[in-house]
């Protein structure tokens, strides 16, 4: 069975501080990992995916298969980064269906 | 209108009522999903329709009944719900085979009295 764990329900940082949102997964095959974000009063939307190896809004995430992690990082947090962040996994063993973690609320204080 | 649209945005119903949630997508996708988002649980996949055929239901109680008449429309029919069914119900769509890249609607907030 595939599982995604986000150990922190809430992460609070000051503006300009580095941010790391943790995500760990369990999956027996080769997964695809994603980060989704939900800003206040907006719909849930895809932020980035590991296969793209891209930086979106200053965020990056590296898949570490040894540690089964896919942490989301940003060197300097901005107030507009405040949102709910969800890590998600897709794998062929489950028909490519997406499994979400419980989410982490990021609060960036001025 | 573009994207994924859900109606109604808010719904309050009694346990004996019958109601339906509607979802419409204008993205040309051929897979549609219902997710349940409640306060104390991660997003739960309820149903998946790919090319208008149901491919996943994850043992959802029969008081939830999905319907997908075509690739652009998805319904969730509700009857004899329980208070614990109160949650935000999210519809999403994707290109078939790219289930990791979902486009979500804003959700229908359901309250069961």
Mean pLDDT of chain B: 90
pLDDT single digits (tens) A19-52: 999 999 998 888 899 999 999 989 999 999 988 8
Most confidently modeled range among A12-16, A88-92, A98-102: A12-16
pLDDT at B100 over 60: yes
d(CA B38, CA A8): 17
Is there a contact between A99 and A45 (Cβ–Cβ < 8 Å)? no
Most confidently modeled range among A84-98, B44-58, B73-87: B73-87
d(CA A19, CA A13): 7
d(CA A44, CA B103): 8
Q: Which residues contact B27 (CB under 8 A, 6 or more apart)?
A: B2, B3, B4, B93, B103
- Note the pLDDT of residue A94: 60
- Note the pLDDT of residue A48: 93
Task: State phi, psi for A3 to the nearest 5 degrees.
Answer: -145, 145
Of B43, B55, B99, Cβ closest to residue A90: B99
d(CA A29, CA B84): 35
More confident position, B55 or B81? B81
Q: Which residue of A has its CA nearest to B42?
A: A102
Which range is least confidently modeled, A39-43, A96-100, B106-110? A96-100
Across the range A61-84, mean pLDDT stands at: 95
Task: State phi, psi for B59 to the nearest 5 degrees.
Answer: 60, 40
For chain B, the residues whose C-beta falls within 8 A of a C-beta of chain A are: 4, 41-43, 45, 48, 55-56, 90, 97, 99-107
DSSP A92: G
- Note the pLDDT of residue A68: 93
């Amino acid at each position: 069975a595939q599982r995604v764990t986000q150990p922190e329900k809430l992460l609070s940082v000051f503006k300009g501080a580095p941010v790391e949102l943790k995500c760990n997964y369990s999956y027996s095959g080769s997964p695809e990992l994603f980060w989704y974000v939900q800003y206040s009063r907006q719909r849930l939307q895809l932020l980035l995916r590991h296969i793209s190896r891209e930086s979106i809004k200053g965020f990056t995430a590296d898949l570490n298969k040894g540690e089964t992690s896919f942490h989301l990082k940003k060197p300097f947090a901005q107030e507009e980064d405040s949102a709910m962040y969800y890590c998600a996994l897709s794998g062929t063993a489950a028909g490519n269906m997406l499994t979400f973690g419980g989410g982490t609320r990021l609060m960036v204080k001025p | 209108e573009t994207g994924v649209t859900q109606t109604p945005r808010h719904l309050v119903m009694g346990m004996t009522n019958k109601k339906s949630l509607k979802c419409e997508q204008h993205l040309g996708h051929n897979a549609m999903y219902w997710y349940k988002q409640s306060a104390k649980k991660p997003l739960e996949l309820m149903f998946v329709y790919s090319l208008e055929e149901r491919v996943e239901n994850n043992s959802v109680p029969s008081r939830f009944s999905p319907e997908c008449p075509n690739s652009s429309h998805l319904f969730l029919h509700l009857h004899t719900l329980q208070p614990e069914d109160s949650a935000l119900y999210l519809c999403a769509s994707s290109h078939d085979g790219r289930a990791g890249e979902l486009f979500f609607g804003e959700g229908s907030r359901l309250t069961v009295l």
